[in-house]
Amino acid sequence: MKKVYGSSSEVFGFLSGKALIIAVVLTINCKLETTNCFSQDLHFSQTFNTPLVLNPSYCGAFDGQLRLMNSFKYQWSSVSDKPYKTFFCSVDKPFFNKKLCAGLIFFNDKAGDSDMSTTQAEWVVSTQLKAAEKDNVSAGLQMGYGQRKFDSQNLVWDNQWNGATFNDQLPSNEPVASTGFGYFDLSSGVNWNHAVSDNNKFRIGVAAYHLNNPSFSFMYDNKEKLNIKFSTSGTWEVKSKKHSNTTYLFTSAWLRQGTANEIDISAIARQELGLNSLYTGNNVSSNFLWGFLWRWNDAVAPYVGFEYKKGLSVGVSYDVNYSGLHVASYARGGFEIHLAYRLVNQKIVVETTAPSLQQ
C-alpha cells in the first residue's frame, strides 16, 4: 500500500530525504579512490559519545526533540609541558518526524609549545527513511569552515643557532607563508538501523570526512592536503535475559586516514538502580554505567558513567597507554569527560552516556 502524505511538511520531508540520500551516496562514491592526502584528524576514546565525529548521518538519531553533547579530552601531560587539549560540542534536532534533522558542530584542538590549534565550526543535515517494518536508513551531509594556526614565538630553528645558544633574533629561513590559514570542509555518511526486537537492536554506518581534500599547509607550495577520513562504525544494544535491569552496549569503529588506521572497541553495561514506570513515566530510575574502551595497539580505558533520574549525567574515562610510547608516558595517556542532554516532551533529560538506538 502506498503511503499518502497528508500535509506539505510531510511531502517536503519525504522528498528532501530521498534527495539527500542520493546526494550522499554519489558524493561518497566519487571519492572512494582518493589516496593523495597526508594530515591526520582528531579522535576521542569515547567514540560512542561523539557520534558526529564518526558519521554525519547519526545527526538526529536519538529519542527526543533536541540533543546537546560536550566532550573534553586532556592527554599526554606526562610527555609534554603543553598537553593536547580537545574540546567538542554539538547540538542537533529532528524535524518532520525525523525525515529531516539538522545540527551544529564546534571543536577546538590545541597542543605543543607552538600552541598548534585547529578550530572548526560546521552544520550537519540528515534524513531518515523507513526501509521496512524494523529497518531505517539514514544519510547525512556535513560542511563548514576550519582554521589552523600556531604561535612561532616559542619556537627555535637550526638557523638560529649561533654556535653557543639559540638567538631568536636571527631569521629562521623557513618557507612558512603564514602562521594560520582557513579551509572549507565537506563530509557525508549513511547508516542502517535494524531492530531485531525491542530488546535487541543494532546499527551500522559508513562515512567519509574531508571529501574535498582542502589544502592544509603553512608552506608556500601549499601541497599538503587534509586526509580523507573513512569511518565504519557499529553499535549493538541488547537487554540481558538473566538481569532485566541491565542492558549491554557494544560499539566498534574503524577509522582510516591516509596510511593511519584506528580501531576502537567498547563494551558498556547500563544497570538500572530503581524501577521505571511502564506507562505513566512518573518513576524514572537512575542508572550506573561501567565498562571498558580499547584502541588497537595503543590504549585501554576504563569507563564509568552515572545518570540521575534522566536529569543529570556524566561519563568519564582514562586512557592507559601501552604502545611504544609507554616508556616515556609511563602508561599515562589521557583523561576524557562527556556530558550530554536531551529535550524530551519539553523537559530536559540527559542523553545516556553510552549509545542508544532508540529512534
Residues making up the chain, counted from first to last: 359
Say if 303 falls within a structural domain. yes
Number of domains composing the chain: 1
How far apart CA 210 and CA 229 sit, in angstroms, is: 7
| pTM flag (> 0.85) | no
pLDDT of residue 68: 92
> Locate cell 560536550: which residue?
70
Residue 97, Cβ density class (10 Å: 0-12 exposed, 13-18 middle, ≥19 buried) = exposed
pLDDT of residue 163: 77
Q: Whose CA is closest to 205, among 190, 215, 220?
A: 190
Say if 342 falls within a structural domain. yes
Strands of 96-222, DSSP E:
100-111, 116-132, 135-149, 180-197, 200-209
Q: What is the mean pLDDT of each run of 10 residues along the chain (359 residues)?
A: 42 47 46 41 86 95 89 81 89 91 95 84 94 92 93 74 76 71 94 93 96 83 84 95 88 93 95 70 79 94 88 88 73 87 64 51
pLDDT tens per residue across span 57-66: 999 998 888 8
Residue 273 belongs to domain with CATH number: 2.40.160.40
Say if 356 falls within a structural domain. no
pLDDT of residue 11: 41
Pairing of strands 287-295, 260-272: antiparallel
Domain, as residue range, for 259: 8-148+179-350
pLDDT of residue 19: 47
How far apart CA 58 and CA 69 sit, in angstroms, is: 13
Say if 129 falls within a structural domain. yes
pLDDT of residue 63: 81
Say if 219 falls within a structural domain. yes
Say if 131 falls within a structural domain. yes
Q: Whose CA is closest to 57, among 10, 106, 103, 96?
A: 103
Residues 18, 10 contacting (CB under 8 angstroms)? no
Say if 315 falls within a structural domain. yes
pLDDT of residue 81: 74
pLDDT of residue 119: 94
CB atoms < 10 A from the CB of 92, how many?
Answer: 25
pLDDT tens per residue across span 157-194: 777 787 778 777 777 766 666 778 889 999 999 999 99
pLDDT of residue 30: 42
How far apart CA 129 and CA 136 sit, in angstroms, is: 6
Residues 6+ apart with CB under 8 A from 340: 49, 67, 68, 69, 70, 313, 350, 351, 352, 353
DSSP string, 272-287: ESS---SSS------E
Exposure string (b/e) for 306-316, b if CB count within 10 Å is 16 or more? Answer: bbeebeebbbb
Helix ranges (DSSP H) in the chain: 8-31, 51-54, 326-329
Say if 3 falls within a structural domain. no
